[in-house]
Structure 1
Amino acid sequence: MTPTTGDSAHLRRELADSLAERGFLRTDPWRKAVEAVPREEFLRGGFFDVVPGSVPTAWCPVMPDTPGWLEQCYRDESLVTQIAGTIVPSDLRGEIMRTPTSSSTMPNLVVRMWEDLQVEDGHWVLEAGTGTGYSTALGCHRLGEDQIVSVEVDPEVSARAGISLGACGFFPELVVGDALAGHADGRPFDRIIATCGVLTIPPAWIEQTRPGGIILATVCGWLYSSELARLTVREDGTAVGRFLGGQISFMLARPQLPPPLGMLPDLNTGDERGAAHGPDVLSDWTARFVAQIAAPRAQRITLTVDGQEQHVIVDVEAGAWASLTRDGDKWAVRQGGPARIWDDIEEHLTWWRTDGSPRPEAFEVTVTPEGQTITWPRRTA
């Protein structure tokens, strides 16, 4: 491949040097890919920058004619490329306060994931989430465009990625559809890599990965703690693996976004008791991840009622909720619905702490036709 922008060659080398020094870029084939693929080709439509000091967060467009645009393309940071599902930088003059829905992932994470995927020459790879196409381009450079299939749910995002890939001389198979369903022809892939977060590893990914193949994806929940998992598919159609650490975070796959909260339940009903843990326990990344194992579809909001803060955990689909409030120097919890969310969370946190508060790297992920389980080594009495 011949890069389209000679002016960025030194920036690509500097980026590769930085990624290698910090341990993200570990092998020569991937270094060559980073040095060859111009990231700016995937940001020609501009990106959004945070407006300093804005609360709530506001975004403003940064276009190719903006001073410093090229240099910013090579900062090791994620760059938001779409907001609210449809808005791109060229649509905007001024600022916007909406939720980002697509981005160019920070290069260190892109490269780390490709390295962690452990690809070899000749491997077939399915990429779940094309995004800007930069990650796809790195994969094409390393393995060849015929070995890559990339699936993207947003047709406009996929089309823009195709243009950028073509400008770099790459023409992989790009599919518009639900990446959680994998690829329509169900070919056995050697590797699947996901650039979006998932609540659970989709069964289709396991079915479409050959025995011994690897799936690399970020597993998270609606409390927004997540970890990168690497699983190996087994002959019996199950997959087992561990988390790789690093507090990896991706935007959730759109089909798995949380439902609207709607009207909250009457928080004055239900059963009240003293809480063994207050909501502050969820400030710790790993503790919050453990809480998600207990309640993966729970969401958290904070309200102020009669001058008092209420921390509400609610599972909209199940109709279960918990509300935590200060009771002097302690916490009280009131719970309602068909399940007791905070009871389940406290039970998991107690087990985890009794077992020495292991890091996520010690957790094991198992996916079977019955579902996904996450466990950690238990201490015996």
Structure 2
Amino acid sequence: MYPTLINGDGLLGHPDGAPYDRVIATCGVRTVPAAWIEQTQPGGLILATIGGWLGSSELARLTVHDDGTASGPFLGGGVSFMLARPHTPPPLGLLPDLSAGEERKAIVGADILSDWTSRFVVQTAVPAAQQLALQHEGQAETVLIDVASGSWAALREEDGHWIVRQDGPELLWDAAEDQLGRWRACGAPTLEEFTIHVTPEGQTIRW
């Protein structure tokens, strides 16, 4: 028996060969494609790396259920695959005026983004944000930008503490701090304690 090679969009699966017992993805995705669930029989498994535009990802093992949903745990290990091309971030384009916005003392500094798990948590709060480092008025800043909404947050370290300046319809760093606060209140669980649940309405990650 020989493997079947299909030249096409892997996010659409291969309906002619369905249903499958196992679906194994060797690229990362932001959200689990509906086609993978539809083409996997109830009780079958989907193994996929779930990631995002802040660059943190993790391997998930989902079991497909009779009702067309899928759920399961993250497996840990800091697994990373290149994102599928349709799931890559949009070009940043012209940067917004980073002198605008309102400043406050940050509860959490941008250094939290250097930790894989913390960055994953932030990513669940601001899934459309991208991160870049730049110099602004002679100071090094870490910037999060949501291209679609135009929201941004810029953080800099100053006199031993962090300052955040943000603008746009969504206060990105407020959302990040809120999510990190909830995660820490639960004891800062590891990614192996996270679960993912996918329905036709969307995808939910919990810990």
| CA apart distance, 1:326 | 2.2
Q: Tell me, yes or no, if structure 1 residue 374 matches structure 2 residue 192.
A: no
Q: Residue 15 of structure 2 contacts residue 39 of structure 2 at CA under 8 Å; is this kept in 1?
A: no
Given candidates 270, 275, 280, the residue that maps to 2:111 is 280
Which residue is 1:213 aligned to?
A: 44
Partners of 1:216 and 1:309 in 2: how far apart? 39
Given candidates 89, 99, 106, the residue that maps to 1:258 is 89
| CA apart distance, 1:271 | 2.0
User: Which letter maps to 1:263?
Assistant: L
Deviates more, 1:290-299 or 1:225-234: 290-299
More strand by share: 2
Partners of 2:17 and 2:174 in 1: how far apart? 41
CA-to-aligned-CA distance 1:251-285 (integer Å, 9 cap, x gap): 11011111111111111112221110111001111
User: Which letter maps to 2:28?
Assistant: G
Q: Residue 54 of structure 2 contacts residue 119 of structure 2 at CA under 8 Å; is this kept in 1?
A: yes
Runs of 5+ consecutive residues of structure 1 not aligned to the other structure = 1-143, 146-171, 377-381
Given candidates 216, 223, 245, the residue that maps to 2:54 is 223
Q: Tell me, yes or no, if structure 1 residue 335 matches structure 2 residue 172.
A: no
How many residues matched? 207
Partners of 1:356 and 1:370 in 2: how far apart? 29
CA-to-aligned-CA distance 1:175-203 (integer Å, 9 cap, x gap): 12211111143621111000000001111
Partners of 2:31 and 2:191 in 1: how far apart? 16
Partners of 1:319 and 1:208 in 2: how far apart? 37
User: Which letter maps to 1:198?
Assistant: V
Which residue is 2:179 aligned to?
A: 348
Which residue is 1:295 aligned to?
A: 126
Sequence identity percentage: 60
Greater relative contact order, per chain length (Cα 8 Å cut-off, separation 6+):
2
| CA apart distance, 1:328 | 2.0
Partners of 1:282 and 1:345 in 2: how far apart? 10
| CA apart distance, 1:297 | 2.1
Partners of 1:351 and 1:262 in 2: how far apart? 33
Given candidates 306, 309, 314, the residue that maps to 2:140 is 309
Partners of 1:274 and 1:186 in 2: how far apart? 56
Normalising by structure 1, what TM-score? Answer: 0.53
| CA apart distance, 1:221 | 0.5
Partners of 2:108 and 2:158 in 1: how far apart? 12
SS at match of 1:265: coil
Runs of 5+ consecutive residues of structure 2 not aligned to the other structure = none
Query: Once superposed, what is the RMSD of the aligned Cα atoms?
Result: 1.1
Deviating 4+ runs (over 3 angstroms)? none
Which residue is 1:243 aligned to?
A: 74
SS at match of 1:277: coil
Larger Rg: 1
Question: Where does 1:166-185 land on structure 2 (aligned, <5 Å)?
Answer: 172-185=3-16
Which residue is 1:188 aligned to?
A: 19
SS at match of 2:31: coil
